[in-house]
A and B are shown apart, each in its own frame.
Chain A
C-alpha cells in the first residue's frame, strides 16, 4: 500500500476498533493480549474484541502502514517470546491525531448546541 503519499485525513473516519487500537498503542508498544485488555478498560468494557476482530484489524492496520511489528521486547524474562509486539508508525500517529481532532470538533459542535448538558441532565 502506498501510504507515503496519502494525507492522514484520507484515512478518516476510523472504525472504532482501529481508533482504540491506535489509542492503546499511543503510550508505547504492546502485544495483542495487552491491546485487547487496554481497549476493554478504556471503553468500560463496551468494546471487547475477539481474536478474529483484533488480528484482522491489526493485519489491515499493518497493510495501511498505521502500525508495525516491533522486534524489541520490554523484558524477555517477563514475557512469552512467542508474543508479537506492535507500535505506531509515524503515519499512524498522524492519522490518530487527525481523528482525535475531528472528534474534538464534533464534541465542540455538540457542546455549542448544548447537547452535552442535555445528556448530563439525563444522567
Chain B
C-alpha cells in the first residue's frame, strides 16, 4: 500500500462498508469479510478514477442492491448449514434425489388425507390441522435434504409454502381462514414474486412460518 492519503469519499466509503458487513452471518463474515472489503475498496478506487465522487455514488447504489439481495440468502444458507447440516450428520441422512421428492409428495398427500378422514369421522378440526401441518413440515424437511445439494431455490420454497397451505384444501377451513386473514393471499403472492425475481428463498420461508403459526393460532380461537 502507498502512503498517499485516500480521498475522503473513498476512506468514508471503506469505513461504512466494513460496518455494513456486520449484517452478514458471523461465519461468512470471518471467512469472506476481509475479501469483500478489499474488493469493495478496489471497486471504489476504479469508480473514483473514472467519475470521481459521482462514480462512487453510482457504485454505492449497486452495492446496496447487492447487499440487500445477498444478506438474507446468506443467513438462510447459514441456518441450513448449521442446523440442517448437524441434523443430517446426526441422523446420517443423505440427499435422496427423486426418491426423496416422491417421499415428500406422498407425505403431503398423507397429511391432507389424514385431515379429511379425521374431520369426516367427527374428530377435532384443530387436531387434524396440527397433524396435517406436522406431516407437511416433515415433507418440507425431506425436500430440503433432497434438494439442498443443488442449491435449488424456487422448487423447495414453493413446495414448502404449498405444504403449509395444503391443509386449507378442507374447504370450510380455507374459507374461514381466508375470511379472517384477507391479506394473507396478497402476502403469499408478493413473497412468491420476490422469490421468482431474486431467487432468494427467505421471503417464502418467512411467510411459511408466519402462516403456519397463524393457522395454529386460528385453530385455537
Q: Which residues of A contact B (CB under 8 A)?
A: 1-2, 10-11, 15, 32-33, 36, 48-56, 58-60, 64, 80, 82-84
Contacts and interface: CB of A to CB of B under 8 A. Distances in A.
B51 interface: no
B74 A56 contact: yes
A69 to B, nearest CB: 11
B33 to A, nearest CB: 9
B36 interface: yes
Interface stretch (B60-68, B107-115, B124-132, B156-164): B60-68
Contacts of B34: 82
B35 A32 contact: yes
B150 A51 contact: no
A2 B150 CA distance: 11
Interface in B110-158: 149-151
B71 interface: yes
Nearest to B74: A56
A1 B81 CA distance: 11
Interface of B: 24, 28, 31-32, 34-40, 42-43, 62-63, 65-67, 69-71, 73-74, 77, 94, 149-151, 199
A83 B67 contact: no
A51 B73 contact: no
B145 to A, nearest CB: 13
Contacts of B150: 10-11
Given A10-B150, A11-B150, A59-B28, A52 B67 contact: yes
Contact of A50 (B35, B37, B66, B73): B66
B62 A33 contact: no
Nearest to A60: B151
Given A32-B35, A56-B74, A51 B40 contact: yes
Contact of B39 (A1, A33, A48): A33
Given A10-B150, A11-B150, A33-B42, A53 B70 contact: yes
B55 to A, nearest CB: 13
A53 B151 contact: no
26 contacts: A1-B149, A2-B149, A11-B150, A15-B199, A32-B35, A32-B38, A33-B42, A36-B43, A49-B66, A50-B43, A50-B63, A51-B40, A51-B43, A52-B66, A53-B66, A53-B69, A54-B39, A55-B36, A55-B39, A56-B28, A56-B70, A58-B32, A59-B32, A64-B149, A83-B35, A83-B38
Given A33-B39, A59-B31, A83-B38, A52 B70 contact: yes
